[in-house]
Amino acid sequence: MTALGMTALGWFAIALGGALGATARFAMSHQVYQWFGREFAWGTLSVNVLGSFVMGLVAVLLVQKLDVSSEWRAFVMVGFLGAFTTFSTFSYETLQYIEVGEINKAFINIVVSLVSCVLAVWAGMLAARQF
């Protein structure tokens, strides 16, 4: 065991999942911005909503329904999804709206992000419970 009760394999799983999640986040948000433009934070919103849905799905599947190792759970939930979703980018983009006087966009980004991500986790959990 290493620090925080994790094995070396667990730490590696988190690191690998993080690298893959960050790469997937960049690719997806870049593509979404290509489709919808940068007038609103569509790329960040899309990865956060999708990541929230998948978190709800895998939280039920990997923790409650399937017998998977703690390393696999760490790879998916902490590594991949932790790096795929991005609260820091959401915060930065919201602050940019505020700084340029786009208060309505900042407010919409906050409300839509919060509500849709919580609903997405719930939907993912409901979907996983159907299996």
Which ranges in 1-131 belong to alpha helices (H)?
Answer: 8-36, 42-60, 70-73, 81-84, 87-99, 103-129
Would you say residue 27 has pLDDT above 90? yes
Backbone dihedral region of 37: left (phi > 0), alpha (psi from -120 to 50 degrees) or beta? left
Report d(CA 108, CA 94) in Å as an integer: 9
Report d(CA 62, CA 72) in Å as an integer: 8
Q: Which of 118, 54, 122 is nearest to 82 (CA)?
A: 54
**What's the distance, Cα to Cα, between the start and end of the chain in Å?**
34
Would you say residue 81 has pLDDT above 70? yes
Q: For the chain, which residues make up each domain, given as ranges?
A: 3-129
pLDDT in tens, 38-73: 999 999 999 999 999 999 999 999 988 998 999 999
Q: What is the pLDDT of residue 131?
A: 86
Would you say residue 37 has pLDDT above 70? yes
Q: What is the pLDDT of residue 6?
A: 85
